[in-house]
């Protein structure tokens, strides 16, 4: 069977390309506790996939007496410290699939709510040039689940967003890509994606290929 190739594949970062969510949760916990507050695992999960500015506002409500920018900088610094200390924890199959996409010549973009310096720190350590464009949280006015970031990535690549396929791990990310008009593959990690508007749900990217992505796009992109 001949499959239709998407015009581009758009990647979320935290939880999809890299397993950094535990680093973020650790950073959030340390920051809140330093101001005498408490932070539960369930509270942390509510922020997965959201923009850092929303996270900063939640931190303030938990007693962190810093500006939003100061909170974002502190959280980002701490996550970067952990990446340097422990290395970058790539999600199973993610780097291999991205490499195959690059070899095939399909354009790619990284679409993340982490700030630019964090996004480029990860992208620069792939071992190959992984992305034609990077859209980070400080490049947009509205965070996921708003569609702005995905629309911006398609604009930078010069492609129609409805001809793109996005890979996401969180409800806000899937909602963002879906609202923008992309076909969405959901790969649940820390949060179940049942009931999300993802066009396909894969338990992992391990052993997935470009042909698998094209098969999803051929079915869903034709609707």
pLDDT at 190: 84
Per-residue confidence band for 1, with pLDDT thresholds at 50, 70 and 90: very low
pLDDT at 2: 52
Per-residue confidence band for 223, with pLDDT thresholds at 50, 70 and 90: low
pLDDT at 108: 98
> Span 146-156, mean pLDDT?
98
> Span 152-169, mean pLDDT?
98
Report the DSSP pairing between strands 108-111 and 8-11.
Answer: parallel
How far the first Cα of the chain sits from its last, in Å, is: 18
pLDDT at 21: 85
What mean pLDDT, rounded, does the chain reach? 94
Q: What is the pLDDT of residues 15-33, one digit of tens each?
A: 999 999 889 999 999 999 9
pLDDT at 47: 84
Per-residue confidence band for 221, with pLDDT thresholds at 50, 70 and 90: low
Tokens found for residue 94: 């993610």
Instruction: Give the count of beta carbons closer than 10 Å to the beta carbon of residue 13.
Output: 23
DSSP per position, 53-111:
HHHHHHHHHTT--S-HHHHHHHHHHHHHHHHHHH---BPTTHHHHHHHHHHHT--EEEE
Element (DSSP H or E) covering residue 135? strand 133-135
Q: Is the pLDDT of residue 175 over 50?
A: yes
Question: Which domains, from first to last, does the chain contain?
Answer: 8-19+90-220 (3.40.50.1000), 21-86 (1.10.150.240)
Q: What is the pLDDT of residues 189-206, one digit of tens each?
A: 888 999 999 999 999 999
pLDDT at 51: 79
Residue 151, sorted as left (phi over 0), alpha (psi -120 to 50) or beta, turns out to be: alpha
Q: Is the pLDDT of residue 117 over 70?
A: yes
Q: What is the pLDDT of residues 58-111, one digit of tens each?
A: 999 999 999 999 999 999 999 999 999 999 999 999 999 999 999 999 999 999
Per-residue confidence band for 220, with pLDDT thresholds at 50, 70 and 90: confident
């Amino acid at each position: 069977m001949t499959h239709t190739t998407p015009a581009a594949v758009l990647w979320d970062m935290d939880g999809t390309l890299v397993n950094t969510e535990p680093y973020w949760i650790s950073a959030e916990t340390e920051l809140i506790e330093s101001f005498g507050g408490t932070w539960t695992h369930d509270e942390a999960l509510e922020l997965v996939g959201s923009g850092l500015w929303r996270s900063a506002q939640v931190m303030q409500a938990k007693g962190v007496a810093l500006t939003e920018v100061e909170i974002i900088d502190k959280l980002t610094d701490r996550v970067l410290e952990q990446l340097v200390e422990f290395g970058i924890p790539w999600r199973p199959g993610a780097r291999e699939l991205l490499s195959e996409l690059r070899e095939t010549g399909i354009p790619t973009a990284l679409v993340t709510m982490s700030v630019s310096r964090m996004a480029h720190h990860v992208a620069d350590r792939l071992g190959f040039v992984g992305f034609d464009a990077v859209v980070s949280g400080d490049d947009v006015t509205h965070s996921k689940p708003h569609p702005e970031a995905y629309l911006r990535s398609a604009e930078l690549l010069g492609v129609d967003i409805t001809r793109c396929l996005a890979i996401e791990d969180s409800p806000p990310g899937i909602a963002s890509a879906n609202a923008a008009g992309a076909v969405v593959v959901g790969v649940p990690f820390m949060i179940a994606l049942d009931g999300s508007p993802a066009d396909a749900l894969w338990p992992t990217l391990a052993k997935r290929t470009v042909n698998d992505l094209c098969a999803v796009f051929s079915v869903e992109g034709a609707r």
